[in-house]
């Protein structure tokens, strides 16, 4: 316990040792705020067969926290992406290279094993004693005697206390369920059933890691788009190949009713793509036969409206969940940490000689939602659209993917650059790398809005010509 040396004795209880939770731990440490992190699993970095993309918006924050150099040594930076369509047409996109260009963001689109990222985030924590594993939270309550304190009870009978509880425990968040329960006795009222049931599942993903294949060039991504599915292959330099298949399901499911997948389900789906060409003479079956880890999971999609109740707040996948195609799930969660900590840092400095009251905490959490919700919604909407263009879901999206993106890609990429440039950063920590012009050049502005409007108008004209319909 370090509350005596922390800011005003304020303590944060983090539920979940994910990328989100560990990043929050690092940020709180930089602030000098006491914390305790509880992870329900027995280890911080289990092997789940998944890779993770670190994009410039997440990389910049991780760099501010002193973590990016270690990440950079273990990740592979993408240079190009070879994109293939069912009719045999293909093109090469330099979008990843442009992102890393000296005139852009200074950070590449980088991929690494998710387990390795978790190891780095944990290993570089200054005080690992604040992290406890095998601590599944069963319920959260207000302290019966001490005002302004919440208690988290774990399945093994332990009790932990904090002035702020942050749920970073993923899409199946126990913290979120406790927040909903506690909101029933809150003056602001209960969370409506419509919101509780608003998460949907329309896609599933097979994540895989295979041993390397000499014919595949590290950093040269391969994307193959099919009718209802997308395959991405990312060769790494560590003798590994990361890959994933995003598959549209037979229908849209509500959260809780989506199918659960066994290893046999992944094998059955992958067998259908066995002869699919990857590059040269390499077929997908070559990756499958060299697999080291494979996992199949549903891809939930939603942005919840309610993020907090009293002194309890959720971040990351527990409040916004998106598909993997845009690669923004973890990066958006890292931004959550930056925005929340910026607001908390300001509030603690304003109350340097006194405690944060219930009203103070509720106000800062309302501000967190007000400032960050539009950003999260924008990222989610783009992720939703990209996934369906990749999967060729509907004639209009087939047209955009096949006949617009290959030829007007630079105009459309500008929207993705805007998305990156508008990202949050940690306001109370310096930027380690020299600021690249892209962060300012591509920030949303009236000029960029006009450019996007003209691109959209061009797209509508092209679709109208192709389909014979009017969209005006």
**pLDDT tens digit string along 289-341?**
999 999 999 999 999 999 999 999 999 999 999 999 999 999 999 999 999 99
- Give 181's pLDDT tier (boundaries 50, 70, 90): very high
Read out DSSP for 113-155?
Answer: EHHHHHHHHHHT-S-GGGEESS--EEEEEE-SSSTT-EEEEET
What pLDDT digit, counting tens, does each position of 102-152 carry?
A: 567 889 999 999 999 999 999 999 999 999 999 999 999 999 888 899 999
Residue 24, pLDDT above cutoff 70: yes
pTM for this model (two decimals): 0.92
114 is in an annotated binding site: yes
Tell me, what's the pLDDT at 458?
Answer: 47
Q: Is 48 annotated as a binding residue?
A: no
State the average pLDDT for the chain: 90
Is 51's pLDDT higher than 90? Answer: yes
Q: What is the pLDDT of residue 215?
A: 95
Name which of 57-66, 183-192, 232-241, 400-409 the model is least confident about.
183-192
pLDDT-based confidence at residue 436 (cuts at 50, 70, 90): low
Is the distance from CB of 419 to CB of 379 less than 8 angstroms?
yes
pLDDT tens, 339-373? 999 999 999 999 876 899 999 999 999 999 999 99
Do the annotations mark residue 317 as ligand-binding? yes
User: By mean pLDDT, which of 88-102, 171-185, 235-249, 347-361 is the weakest?
Assistant: 88-102
What's the confidence (pLDDT) of residue 8? 61
Mean pLDDT (whole number) for 443-448: 64
Annotation-wise, does 88 bind a ligand? no
Asked if 178 and 312 count as a contact pair (C-beta separation under 8 A), the reply is yes
Q: Model confidence over 29-42: pLDDT tens digits?
A: 999 999 999 999 99
Find the range with the poorest average confidence among 93-107, 158-172, 377-391: 93-107
Q: Which pLDDT belongs to residue 186? A: 62
pLDDT band at residue 49 under the 50/70/90 scheme:
confident
User: pLDDT band for position 189 (50/70/90)?
Assistant: low
Bridge partners, 402 (sequence order): none
Longest dimension (CA), the chain: 71
Q: Tell whether residue 347 is among the known ligand binding residues.
A: no
Alpha-carbon span 111 to 92, nearest angstrom: 19
Residue 117: exposed, middle, or buried by beta-carbon count in 10 A (0-12, 13-18, 19+)? buried
On the question of pLDDT at 462 being above 50, the answer is: no
Report in angstroms the alpha-carbon separations of 408 from 6, 60, 379, 383, 449.
53, 28, 21, 19, 17
| pLDDT, position 44 | 95
By three-state DSSP, how is residue 205 classified? strand
Q: Is the pLDDT of residue 463 over 60?
A: no
d(CA 424, CA 375): 9
Cα-only R_g, the chain: 23
Place of tokens 């002193």: 66
For residue 415, the model assigns a pLDDT of: 83
Distance CA(193)–CA(254), nearest Å, equals 13
Place of tokens 């689109």: 109
Would you say the C-alpha torsion 374, 380, 385, 389 has a positive or negative sign? positive
Q: Which residues pair with 294 in a beta bridge?
A: 208
């Amino acid at each position: 316990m370090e509350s005596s040396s922390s800011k005003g004795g304020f303590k944060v209880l983090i539920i979940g040792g994910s990328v989100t939770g560990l990043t929050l731990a690092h940020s709180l440490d930089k602030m000098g705020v006491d914390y305790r992190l509880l992870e329900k699993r027995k280890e911080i970095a289990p092997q789940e067969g998944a890779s993770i993309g670190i994009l410039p918006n997440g990389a910049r924050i991780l760099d501010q926290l002193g973590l990016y150099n270690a990440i950079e040594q273990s990740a592979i930076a993408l240079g190009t992406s070879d994109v293939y369509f069912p009719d045999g047409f293909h093109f090469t996109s330099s979008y990843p290279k442009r992102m890393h260009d000296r005139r852009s963001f200074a950070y590449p689109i980088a991929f690494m094993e998710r387990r390795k990222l978790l190891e780095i985030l944990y290993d570089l924590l200054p005080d690992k004693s604040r992290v406890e594993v095998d601590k599944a939270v069963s319920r959260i309550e207000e302290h019966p005697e001490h005002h302004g304190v919440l208690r988290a009870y774990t399945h093994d009978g332990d009790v932990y206390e904090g002035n702020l509880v942050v749920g970073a425990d993923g899409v199946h968040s126990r913290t979120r369920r406790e927040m909903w329960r506690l909101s029933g006795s809150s003056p602001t009222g209960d969370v409506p059933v419509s919101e509780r049931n608003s998460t949907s599942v329309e896609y599933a993903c097979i994540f895989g890691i295979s041993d390397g294949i000499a014919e595949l060039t590290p950093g040269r991504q391969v994307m193959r788009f099919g009718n209802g599915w997308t395959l991405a292959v990312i060769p790494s330099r560590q003798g590994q190949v990361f890959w994933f298949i995003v598959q549209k399901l037979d229908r849209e499911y509500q959260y809780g009713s989506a199918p659960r997948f066994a290893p046999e389900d992944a094998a059955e789906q992958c067998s259908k793509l066995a002869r699919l060409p990857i590059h040269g003479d390499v077929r997908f079956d070559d990756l499958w036969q060299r697999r080291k880890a494979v996992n199949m999971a549903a891809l939930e999609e939603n942005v919840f409206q309610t993020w907090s109740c009293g002194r309890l707040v959720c971040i990351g996948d527990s409040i916004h969940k998106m598909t993997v195609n845009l690669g923004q799930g973890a990066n958006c969660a890292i931004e959550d940490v930056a925005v929340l900590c910026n607001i908390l840092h300001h509030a603690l400095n304003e109350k340097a000689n006194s405690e944060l009251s219930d009203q103070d905490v509720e106000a800062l959490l309302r501000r967190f939602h007000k400032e960050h919700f539009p950003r999260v919604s924008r990222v989610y909407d783009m992720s939703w659209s990209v996934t369906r263009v990749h999967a060729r879901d509907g004639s209009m999206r087939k047209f955009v993917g096949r006949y617009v993106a290959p030829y007007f890609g630079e105009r459309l990429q500008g929207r993705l650059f805007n998305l990156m440039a508008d990202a949050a950063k940690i306001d109370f920590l310096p930027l380690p790398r020299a600021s690249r012009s892209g962060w300012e050049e591509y920030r949303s502005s009236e000029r960029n809005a006009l450019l996007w409007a003209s691109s959209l108008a061009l797209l509508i004209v092209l679709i109208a010509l192709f389909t014979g319909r009017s969209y005006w």
